[in-house]
Structure 1
Amino acid sequence: MKNTNSDAITVQATINAPVEKVWTYWNAPEHITQWCQASADWHAPYAENDLRPDGKFKTTMAAKDGSVSFDFEGVYTEVEPQKTISYTMADGRMVTIEFEGNDNITTVTETFDPENTNPIEMQRGGWQAILNSFKQYTEEN
């Protein structure tokens, strides 16, 4: 089920790589742990991913200095290989990710429900930073 919340936030990146590679790097735990951070002082020491409807995922995101960590997790509601992923986060918010490939260029668009704690621009900035990290990792490897 695609996200239709009118308050949803959207971030996007165009990656210089074919959709097959982008899909693999987005979903394989050995890659997720390499790119899933918003800044250089964070990392993702653990990732698991059961990419199918009703499958679960979990990525541990942590400050490199050990001061704080949290698990980003949810359950998939839709998986259309190399096209769409939708999931519900542990707190009930919805996320949809669309992959649009054209030759060796892929656009990744994430749309997510905002949470009520942090300002919208902070949330957009954080998710965009992680997506930019993904873009950089995918293009360099």
Structure 2
Amino acid sequence: MENPKQPITVAATVKAPIQKVWQSFTAPEHSVNWSFASDDWHAPEAENDLRTGGKFRTKMAAKDGSMSFDFVGVYTNVENHKKIEYKLGDGRFVSISFEDLGDSVTVTETFDPENTHPVEFQKAGWQAIMDNFKKYTETL
């Protein structure tokens, strides 16, 4: 059954040049530092083959060891410094655009919601991860 819900969008404007923003977003050694929604979670592992047809995996885990899951997908489109699109393991689609504003970059992420959690909960979680990304990248 197709998901009848509208896609969800989150965004952040990062005060850094596009090269730094792109590297922070895509390199596993950076993404493990920001890919979680709250301080009681972390991302202890990440792998990334950033190319159309390439796969990625980020392990997201509760710091107390009570729960973890792999966030996985396959890239359907990669345009250096501009756009990343992928299909998640559960079939949902995600699109990320990078708008270079010179001294900053607006990163906009649009994703298909899943059917387990309320849309507001999903949006808050993905926005929290985006906010972590912004904070981490600006202090690199």
TM-score exceeds 0.5: yes
Runs of 4 or more consecutive aligned structure 1 residues displaced over 3 Å after TM superposition: none
| Corresponding residue of 2:53 | 54
Counterpart Cα distance in 2 of 1:15 and 1:53: 25
How far is the alpha carbon of 1:104 from its aligned partner? 1.4
Instruction: Provide structure 1 residue ranges, at least 5 long, that are not aligned to the other structure.
Output: none
Q: Percent identity?
A: 61
| Corresponding residue of 1:79 | 78
- Does the alignment pair 1:102 with 2:101? yes
Alignment of 1:20-99 (within 5 A): 20-99=19-98
Please tell me whether the aligned partners of residues 5 and 113 of structure 2 are also in contact (alpha carbons under 8 angstroms).
no
| Corresponding residue of 1:125 | 124
Counterpart Cα distance in 1 of 2:5 and 2:16: 31
How far is the alpha carbon of 1:103 from its aligned partner? 1.2
TM-score under structure 2 length normalisation: 0.96
Question: Matched residue pairs, number?
Answer: 137
How far is the alpha carbon of 1:6 from its aligned partner? 7.1
Residue identity opposite 2:122 in structure 1: Q
How big is each residue's C-alpha offset from its partner over 1:42-84, in whole Å with a ceiling of 9 and x where there is no partner?
0000000000011000000000010000000000000000000
Counterpart Cα distance in 2 of 1:63 and 1:14: 27
Counterpart Cα distance in 2 of 1:6 and 1:58: 25
Please tell me whether the aligned partners of residues 10 and 126 of structure 2 are also in contact (alpha carbons under 8 angstroms).
yes
Residue identity opposite 2:13 in structure 1: T
Counterpart Cα distance in 2 of 1:114 and 1:34: 24
Instruction: Provide structure 2 residue ranges, at least 5 long, that are not aligned to the other structure.
Output: none
Q: RMSD of the TM alignment (CA)? A: 1.0
TM-score under structure 1 length normalisation: 0.95
Counterpart Cα distance in 2 of 1:60 and 1:94: 19
| Corresponding residue of 1:134 | 133
